[in-house]
């Protein structure tokens, strides 16, 4: 689970769906990429280490 996400610059991920049904936002930090569901901000964000970001995206994309 992600801690200390206040003050991060969140933006819609290019991997988020274009139909408006998959609203994934990410924020880059020095040591991690933070991920959240912009449609449900009550859910906690999580973080993926920067070195693990590319393998994580490939896994999520099913590539």
Q: Would you list the DSSP string of 29-59?
A: -SSEEEEEETT-TTSPPEEEEGGGHHHHHHH
Say if pTM beats, i.e. exceeds, 0.85: no
The string of pLDDT tens digits covering residues 14-57 is 666 666 666 889 999 989 999 998 888 889 999 999 999 999 98
- Whether residue 62 is predicted with pLDDT greater than 80 in this model: the reply is yes
pLDDT confidence of residue 22:
67
How far are the Cα atoms of 10, 48, 58 from residue 54, in angstroms, in the given order? 18, 10, 6
The structure tokens listed for 25 are 């936002």
Task: List the chain domain ranges.
Answer: 11-61
The string of pLDDT tens digits covering residues 28-40 is 998 999 999 888 8
Q: Which of 15, 11, 19, 5 is nearest to 57 (CA)?
A: 15
pLDDT confidence of residue 53:
92
């Amino acid at each position: 689970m992600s801690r200390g996400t206040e003050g991060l610059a969140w933006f819609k991920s290019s991997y988020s769906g274009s139909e408006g049904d998959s609203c994934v936002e990410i924020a880059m930090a020095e040591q991690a990429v933070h991920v959240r569901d912009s449609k449900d901000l009550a859910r906690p964000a999580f973080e993926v280490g920067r070195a693990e970001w590319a393998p994580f995206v490939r896994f999520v994309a099913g590539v």
